[in-house]
Amino acid sequence: MLECLKKKPFDQITISDLQKASGVARSTFYRAFDNLSDVLYWKCDACFYEVLGNYQPSQRQSELELIRHYFQYWMDHSDILELLLQINRQDIIYACHMKNAEILQQRYGQLPENTTEHGNYFIAIRTGFTISILTVWLQGGRKETAGELVKIIEEQLFLLAKSIAPHVIPKI
C-alpha cells in the first residue's frame, strides 16, 4: 500500500495496483479483505494491538507512563496514522483504538473509579484525547518527544482541573 501511495493518491489505487506491488494474488487478497479500506483497518488494528498488548507496567508506573509508551510507539510507527489522516479516515483510527482498548481492561481489570455502564465513555475520552494529540503532533512537524507530549498533557490537565474545581487542586 505504501509503495502504491508513492505513485498515486489513495483514491486512485486499485486492487490490481496493490496486487502488483505486493505480489499477492487477487484471490489471496479477496480471501483476507473486501476492499482497500480493509487493508488500512487491518494494519491500524495490528498496530493498536501491538502497542497496547505489549505494554508491561511496573507497580509504580502511572497512567502517564502508559501514555508516554503509547506516544513513543506511534512516533516510531507513524506511517499508518499519517496515511489515515491524509485520506480523512480518522474513523479507522478511532474504531481500532476502541476495539483494542479492551486489552487494557482485560489485563488490568475494571477501569479506575468507573462503572461498567460508563466504561465506553472512559475509553472514548482517552481515545479522542490521544488521537487528537497525535494529529496535532503530526501536523505540527513532529517536534516534540513522547516525554514532552506527556509534560504538555500534565500541564493541560492541571489547568483544566484548576478551572473546573479550583478549590480541590493543590497549588504547585
**Cell matching residue 61:** 508506573
Tell me, yes or no, whether 24 and 73 share the same domain. no
Tell me, yes or no, whether 52 and 115 share the same domain. yes
Report mean pLDDT in 10-residue bins for the chain, 172 residues.
86 92 91 92 90 71 78 91 88 88 64 61 82 92 94 89 70 55
Question: Total structural domains in the chain?
Answer: 2
Whole-number Å distance between alpha carbons of 166 and 164: 6
pTM here? 0.76
Tell me, yes or no, whether 123 and 70 share the same domain. yes
Q: Which domain holds residue 130?
A: 35-143
Tell me, yes or no, whether 54 and 134 share the same domain. yes
Tell me, yes or no, whether 64 and 137 share the same domain. yes
- Residue at 47 is within a domain: yes
User: Measured between alpha carbons, how far is residue 11 from residues 19, 35, 89 in Å?
Assistant: 16, 12, 12
- What was the pLDDT predicted at 161? 83
- What was the pLDDT predicted at 51? 86
- Residue at 163 is within a domain: no
- Residue at 167 is within a domain: no
Tell me, yes or no, whether 48 and 18 share the same domain. no
CA-angle at 148, arms to 57 and 156, nearest 5°: 95
Tell me, yes or no, whether 14 and 57 share the same domain. no
- Residue at 153 is within a domain: no
Tell me, yes or no, whether 93 and 135 share the same domain. yes
- Residue at 156 is within a domain: no
